[in-house]
Amino acid sequence: MSILVDENTKVICQGLTGQQGRFHAQQMLAYGTQLVGGVTPGKGGQVQLGLPIFDTVLEAKQQTQATVSIIYVPAAFAADAIMEAAFAGMALIVCITEGIPTQDMIHVKAVLAHTQARLIGPNCPGIITPTACKIGIMPGHIHLAGRVGVISRSGTLTYEAVAQLTATGLGQSTCIGIGGDAIIGMDFVDCLALFEADEKTDGIIMIGEIGGDAEEKAASFIQAHVSKPVVAFIAGSSAPEGKRMGHAGAIISGTAGTAASKFKALQQAGVHIEYNPTLLGQRMLTILAE
Amino acid sequence: MNLHEYQAKEILQQYSIGVPQGVLVHNPEEAMLASKTLQSDRVVVKAQVHAGGRGKAGGVKLCKHAQLVETAAAMLGIHLHTAQTDQAGKLVRQVWVEEAVNIAHEYYLAILLDRSQHCISFMLSTQGGTDIEEIAKTSPQDILQLAIHPSAGLQAWHIRQMAFFLQLEKQHQRQFSTLVRQLYQAFCQTDASMLELNPLVRTQEGQFIALDAKFSIDDNALYRQKVIADMRDFAEEDALEVKAAQYGLNYISLDGDIGCMVNGAGLAMATMDMIHLKGSRPANFLDVGGGVSQDTVAHGFRLLLEQNHLKAILVNIFGGIVRCDLIALGLIEALKTHDLHIPLVMRLVGTHEKEGRQLIEDAGLAVLWAHDLDEAAQLAVATHGESS
């Protein structure tokens, strides 16, 4: 077990009967994830991929004892789906959906503070503890069970880092895609705290990008609370100001949110920064060998 | 999505927020009609372009009523070069002519999505009509930032705090309170990401007027803001980006000459960064995204191949959901109608990568294969400019 999810974790899927939900649920089952049911309002009683479908998250939780929900619900309904899961008592909610209105997420974040739920995402690839539990859309086969934690705002860029760690033999303890939106659930700081406390994690790779101040906040946290080595890359050094670079949260406003300021803050906090994203695995290998 | 000043003012008016009376003008004839409608001694002619810094560039002109038509006519059709435009500048297709007001004081008031505090925040200053970023540097004590907790919403004490900060006299406070409540409601109901009044003016007659308004709407919310979505002025956006969006491609024009196609926004940015590291510059950001179809990929390739200034193309695919054979088929389809006249570097890894490579090799395409992103960027920069 590394952080948050392991071989014992039971998962339900909100949106399992939809195209995206079904496809990725199949992949998750093939990986060995304990996916135990799905939720689609109005389709309670049906069966999909051999799994029971429920009308509500509460019912699904009561019948399956799942503690995690993964959400593939369209953007217009996703905020509501997150809150339903939180109030049903889910410990962890992973929201893959991209395109949720920002004001909805402001509301969701405030509401979730009143529940026990942790949220990963939205607009994220999910979370994986290699060989044990895959909750999301990442390609399982590129991962290797190991000792480096990965926290990333990206999807496919994370896979680059993961492939490098696998190639060096270091492997990953848990990989968390925190998502590309401006307002998200768990942030770098939240994940760093968990990795620092995890005896199965020796080092941490952070992949940030332009926009916001999450990496700067992480830098302060690392300085005060993280003893394990951190290697960081920030995507978007070459991005122009004012343009939303794909991710809703990847935008430089005026002088705020530049890659340069993030690299600087992290470096000052003792983080091993790397400007070349193809060298992350190697860098971590070198550091851990010392 | 950005709105023009005149559109922002239209919306603010719907929320009973004071704006100067104005007319939208596209040509001298409309200017003449405007001079009949507007009755003030002086008027302001303002270029309607999606770029800040218009004033300094000659895009905002105060003039006497008698000079309205000539001032408007002179501004129409020019290219405005501001600190925020590129070299070509922005073509002025329309101007907003409004009645000048008698200014007693200029304030700065903005409402924005505060991602650091995860809430909506107000930003105010007694120094309106100036560069707020300068104020932030030189006299930050003149700026009030007020976070509105989502559970509480806008409350009376928030408004009092703002009024005292702005040193408003008692007789102006009630009107200010109504104004703030209306602005907040407008911000929330339109799913705005930013609403900036710079300046918010208190006139000599004691009215609060939004003299300038910058209004941006959250792109993610446009599906439920149909009226506002219809206000979109595509002419103010990059033509290639608009075309790409129609095909479902996430495309941003940049100033280099190495074309890019990548899956995933973070990876696309990292690919651009790698090109920079290797000494060259990307021509674009292009994220083909997870659910992409062969057709969409073909459109993406055509878009790149049609740009004559490109000296190389770099394709970086790390396919999880995206299938490599789909990318290959899209390329082959595009090349049925378009020539491959520049080096094409491909890094194709992940789902169905063998099938993808095979398809390209079977088609006899001159592709330079790279195993990883470093090699891909290296090759693209090294060969760019060589004709194939």
pLDDT in tens, A204-262: 999 999 999 999 999 999 999 999 999 999 999 999 888 888 888 888 877 789 999 99
pLDDT at A241: 85
User: Is the pLDDT assigned to residue B388 strictly greater than 60?
Assistant: no
Among the ranges given (A58-67, A75-84, B83-92, B217-226), the one the predictor scored with the smallest mean pLDDT: B83-92
Displacement of CA B47 from its chain's centroid (Å): 17
Q: Which helix (H) or strand (E) holds B176?
A: helix B170-189
pLDDT at B385: 65
Q: Give the whole-angstrom CA distance, residue A200 versus residue B215.
A: 49
Give the pLDDT mean for A147-172: 97
Task: Determine the longest span between alpha carbons in chain B, in angstroms.
Answer: 81
Interface test with B, best of A103, A108, A123, A190 (most B CBs within 10 A): A103
Query: If you average pLDDT over every residue of chain B, what do you get?
Result: 94
Q: Which helix (H) or strand (E) holds A282?
A: helix A280-289
What is the per-residue pLDDT across B276-296, written as a single tens digit (0 to 9) for each?
Answer: 999 999 999 999 987 789 999
Q: Are strands B250-253 and B208-210 parallel, antiparallel or unpaired?
A: unpaired
Of B133, B266, B372, the CB nearest to A180: B266
The Cα of A61 is separated from the nearest Cα of chain B by a number of Å equal to 27
Per-residue confidence band for A23, with pLDDT thresholds at 50, 70 and 90: very high
User: The pTM is what?
Assistant: 0.95
Interface test with A, best of B318, B352, B375, B378 (most A CBs within 10 A): B318
H-type helices in A198-233, by residue range? Answer: 214-225
Q: Do B269 and A239 make contact, defined as CB atoms within 8 angstroms?
A: yes
Question: Terminus-to-terminus CA distance in chain B, angstroms?
Answer: 40
User: Is the pLDDT assigned to residue A114 strictly greater than 50?
Assistant: yes
Q: Do A101 and B191 make contact, defined as CB atoms within 8 angstroms?
A: yes
Q: What is the dihedral of CA B172, B175, B177, B180, to 10 degrees?
A: -120
Q: Give the whole-angstrom CA distance, residue A148 versus residue A15.
A: 31
pLDDT at B387: 59
Of B218, B269, B321, the CB nearest to A137: B321
Q: Which two tokens stand for residue B359?
A: 């398809």
What is the per-residue pLDDT across B188-230, written as a single tens digit (0 to 9) for each?
Answer: 999 999 999 999 999 999 999 999 999 999 999 999 999 999 9
The Cα of B21 is separated from the nearest Cα of chain A by a number of Å equal to 31
pLDDT at A1: 45
Cβ(A242)–Cβ(A253) below 8 Å: yes
Q: Chain A contact for B251, CB < 8 A? A: no
- Orientation of helix A75-87 relative to helix A57-64, angle to 10°: 50
pLDDT at B51: 87
Closest to B265 measured CA to CA, from A96, A23, A244 = A244
Give the pLDDT mean for A77-90: 98
pLDDT at A160: 96
Give the number of beta-carbon pairs within 8 Å between A and B. Answer: 164
User: Is the pLDDT assigned to residue A76 strictly greater than 80?
Assistant: yes
ipTM of the complex: 0.94
User: Is the pLDDT assigned to residue B386 strictly greater than 90?
Assistant: no
Q: What percent of chain B has pLDDT over 90?
A: 88
Residues of A in contact with B285 (CB under 8 A): 239, 245-246
User: Is the pLDDT assigned to residue B136 strictly greater than 80?
Assistant: yes
B 113-132 residues inside an 8 A Cβ radius of A: 113, 115-116, 118-120
The Cα of B17 is separated from the nearest Cα of chain A by a number of Å equal to 22
Q: How many CB atoms neighbour CB B142 within 10 A?
A: 15
Give the pLDDT mean for B158-178: 97
Residues of A in contact with B115 (CB under 8 A): 182-183, 211-213, 249
Q: What share of chain A is helix, strand, coil (3-state, %, to 5)?
A: 35, 25, 40
